[in-house]
Chain A
Amino acid sequence: MRKDLRERLGKEWLIFDGGTGTILQSRGLRGGELPETWNLKRPEDIIDLHSGYLRAGCDIFNTNTFGANALKFPDDLEQIVTAAVNLAKEARRRCGREDAYVALDIGPTGKLLEPLGDLPFESAVQLFGEVVRYGSRAGADLVLIETMSDSYEAKAAVLAAKENCDLPVLVTVTFDGQGKMLTGGSVDSTVALLEGLGVDALGVNCGLGPEQMIPIVERLTEVCSIPVIVNPNAGLPRTEGGRTVYNVGPEEFADRMEKIAGMGVQAVGGCCGTTPEHIRLTAERVKKIPFREPVPKYRTVVSSFSQCVEIGGKPVIIGERINPTGKKKFKQALRDNDIEYILREGLRQEDSGAHILDVNVGLPEIDEPQMLSEVVQKLQSVLALPLQIDTTDPAALERSMRIYNGKPMVNSVNGKKESIETVFPLVRKYGGVLVALVLDEDGIPSDAEGRIRIARRIYEAADRYGVPRKDIVIDGLAMTISSDNTSALVTLETLRRVRDELHGHTILGVSNISFGLPRRAMINSYFLAMALQSGLSAAIMNPGNEDMMEAYRAYCALAGLDPQCREFIEAYAGTSDRAPAEKAVKGTEGVPAASGSSGNTSMNLKESVLRGMSQSAAEAARNALKDTAALDLIDRDLIPALDQVGKGFEAGTIFLPQLLMSAEAAKAAFEVVKEFMKGQPQEVKGRIILATVKGDIHDIGKNIVKVMLENYGYEVLDLGKDVPPEVIVDTAVNENIKLVGLSALMTTTVVSMEETIRLLRGKKPDTRVVVGGAVMTQEYADAIGADCYAKDAMATVHYAEDVFGA
């Protein structure tokens, strides 16, 4: 009878089956015909297919369900999947191979997930979940998720498998010759993600022949702590008389697989182009060589969809700026749902040199689960740094860990029973590197001994919940020295003891140490150096603070962590390429005065805007405000400059990049003025909704219009792209909006535009609609009932001026 697969995985050689498509084609499967339909139409052929591999000696064989999902089989998915499992079981019975395992085979959906494509993450989980339910009900022995070329989709499939059955889950993914997935994932990032999700084995299949897979297998066996599976193609494909053939025959394949098996993998088989003969020879050869169990690697790795950061080597900088605590503007951005403000904060920190970004959006009056998961997803759509999800709200934590693409850092658990019981199960399920605060029901211990005691307790809890100890990072807790003179010493002692006695990693929110003191940056940077010297693995800090970065870079250079002091020299050697903005400021000197402008400073402001120089515009505004009233500055310089650029654009003497550069410069100046006028009521000319309509994912045009409208003093409610008509209409009604701007790029999506207008006329007839986009024309706009067709951003501005009577 069959042993539990989990007892055999990683303990002995296991052989997978080979290709399906090639064999079905030789039996008459036509190009474009869906192989899964044969489960119902040609059952005997499918039984034969399996029997060939069972007789060749494979231990695990795949149901004919690679492309079976509700997108491709909306009507008969259940029958197809159930039949597939039953045919596999029947083949097993006929071959007398009751020891072999039926793998429910799950391939990619063929759709790209959001934000790259249009399939929402949870829809992918549902699509896979359905297949898993049918397959496990029919009696599959394991779930094999294979040929995944997007780590995010692999994550959706793993969650679906775990949430819908208790079977072992094995995952193999596809890399190209450079070791990259189609969406950018590497071996390291994939291993971090899948090990975090707790799969039973992982590996690589398809895309490459055995020879080309060798460097990938090498890396896999270096970083992976669980059993590794290798299922290559029979070499590289070529087309011969309309058929795809592969160039590596059974003998050669078995040769290469023997070599691969010797590299420390635990399971082998084949993919496209391999036949029972490939598998028979491979099984024969591989089973003769000594089996090696997988070895734990003790690597602490956080990942995004493409990048990995290892904790425990060179100290890691975790950017702390995405956090509303003590930041008025940030809080306002959260209340206004101004996600872009938060994204910009993230991008700035990446540019400053952060390795990971902490993300905290906790504010009492907002829906934190919704906001945190949205911010996490949007950040991941613009940057590749791994994130540290920072919240005390368990619902927000779960939702964000779920949709996170990669293995996140989680901030945080502490020694309290309730915290341990809430957070550990989530880390166990979704994977993550967990920040553990050394405090408990009795508060923060005043000495290192007490903190170490709690750290030990948290490690023990990790054991109980099945979270690897390597995935715990102890926060030694920095408390201000202004209230307790010895607190820095206690923290440093805690760091040292975690490193030396517990062999663990540590993290600190560094700047707490100076709370209540003047010149905080000075204390913080010295403390950072001391903490690093005491073993600190990760510093939560502001990477935009030059004192802190100096301390960090100097420490790394001094501690032998910056080979040839390269990074230090790069950052501080006299010249650098990173100062084009400064050059630009210098460049404004000597600019001839524009005619008709008054006074020297304000002339500079106008000129800066005309030339599209943001920094110099901000500076000029700051200077001008010393002796000019803010409103005068706007009326006399900013608005005329904008008008001049706008007119030039319309006349065809100024082009889009310059128009936008000037707009950006004006915005920089406006921000200075606004800051200056803080507290005084500020005029908003009108509130306008902008959206790219449902089905359309091109938002560049809409974003251009937004920049221009904001420049002219309008408040824009940017609903984003692919926006359903109801959302636009509901927002217009709830916010009582007078003007809606809609954008569509393709003829295929103009229908959504028409639908939106129709709905809007019904529910909010007094709202005007302006439309634009590549395929739009005046006739088209008239036909779908828009009030105005705007051929470009300036035309939209003019229409807004009409509507709001400016």
Chain B
Amino acid sequence: MDLTPDINEVIRYLGYRGAVPDDSVRAEIKECIGDLQREVTPRFVYEKFPLSVKTEQDKIPLLCLGNLEIRSRDLARNLAGCYGAYLMAVTLGPGPDRLIRRASVSQMSRAVILQAAAAAMTETWCDQINERIRREAELDGLCTRPRYSPGYGDLPLELQKDISRILNMPKEIGVSLTGTLLMTPSKSVTALIGVSDRPGESRGRGCDSCKASANCAYRV
């Protein structure tokens, strides 16, 4: 598989806000991507579940995904019109974390670049699995919604525990949760992707849909 991130995304993660890095930084970014490509062990797991949404006056909507119950206004908005959703989890494996730790000891500037490049690669890997899911849904005549992760909007991080259990993440892809609900290896993502028989309103996954976008260093 080709896990080459968009170099402009890496630059954005480095906080350049549209500025252009000099050649030495660009060269370093390319080297870091090469190092990461040698060390990653990308894995994924996903599964589709039936979805129903209960809305009551003045209450946060309750989403029932398989056996799982989730209360979230923002997710309900994301999944409006869906009667099924995929849970997915992806990881680049423990290699990037080790590379970053290593560079943190020997050369911090490289650690920062590795960190940004690995984050962009994780997104690329997410996109690839997302695309796979989109095609699978398409075969059933369904459309997918933009992916949505625990921690976005009012969707609680606590949900990580359920996703981990339901997808059997430790065994399937080697990702486990710390006591504070962080994923290890750190270059991992979980998300929900709704499916519906009609396309959603075209609200991209761009910065405008994010509450924090006003002061964000990574804003596009």
Contacts and interface: CB of A to CB of B under 8 A. Distances in A.
Most A Cβ at <10 Å: residue of B102, B109, B113: B109
A116 B184 contact: yes
Interface string B85-125: 00000000111011011101111110111010000000000
Given A31-B67, A383-B102, A110 B186 contact: no
Contacts of B93: 182, 184
A198 interface: no
B185 A116 contact: yes
Contacts of A700: 100, 104, 111-112, 115
Interface residues of B, number: 50
Contact of B108 (A343, A382, A707): A707
Given A180-B41, A340-B105, A657 B112 contact: yes
Interface stretch (A130-138, A519-527, A659-667): A659-667
A699 B105 CA distance: 12
A382 B102 contact: yes
Interface stretch (A46-54, A247-255, A676-684, A690-698): A690-698
A32 interface: yes
B202 interface: no
A381 B108 contact: no
Contact of A703 (B19, B108, B166): B108
Interface in A171-222: 174, 180, 182-184
Contact of B180 (A115, A381, A749): A749
B78 to A, nearest CB: 20
Interface string B157-187: 1000000011000110110111111101110
Contact of A149 (B19, B171, B181): B171
B40 to A, nearest CB: 11
Given A184-B94, A655-B19, A658-B25, A748 B157 contact: yes
B47 interface: yes
Contacts of B24: 584, 611-612, 661
Contacts of A698: 182, 186
Contacts of A697: 178, 182, 184, 186
A695 B165 contact: no
A749 B180 CA distance: 7
A31 B168 CA distance: 11
B80 interface: no
Nearest to A662: B109
Interface in A61-111: 108, 110-111
Contact of B102 (A110, A347, A703, A707): A347
Nearest to B103: A382
A117 interface: yes
Contacts of A112: 170, 174, 176, 184-185
A704 interface: yes
B199 interface: no
B54 interface: no
Contacts of A655: 14-16, 19, 21, 25
Contacts of B14: 655-657
Contacts of B21: 655, 657-658
A344 B105 contact: yes
Contacts of A611: 24
B154 interface: no
B35 interface: no
A118 interface: yes
Given A118-B184, A660-B112, A699 B104 contact: yes
A707 B179 CA distance: 29
A381 B98 contact: yes
A344 B106 contact: yes
A652 interface: yes
A697 B170 CA distance: 18
* Of B17, B105, B166, most A-chain CB atoms within 10 Å: B105
B95 to A, nearest CB: 7
Nearest to B168: A110
B184 A657 contact: no
Nearest to B19: A655
A110 B25 CA distance: 39
Given A149-B171, A655-B16, A707-B108, A110 B176 contact: yes
A444 B67 CA distance: 72
Contacts of B16: 655
A182 B174 contact: yes
B106 A748 contact: no
Which of the listed residues B24, B113, B185 has the most CB atoms from chain A within 10 Å of its own CB?
A: B24
Given A183-B174, A381-B98, A657-B14, 13 more contacts: A108-B171, A149-B171, A182-B43, A381-B101, A382-B101, A382-B105, A655-B14, A655-B25, A657-B25, A660-B108, A695-B179, A700-B111, A747-B157
20 contacts: A32-B67, A110-B170, A112-B184, A116-B185, A117-B176, A150-B174, A182-B41, A184-B95, A239-B47, A381-B98, A611-B24, A652-B17, A655-B21, A660-B108, A661-B24, A695-B180, A698-B186, A700-B115, A703-B104, A746-B157
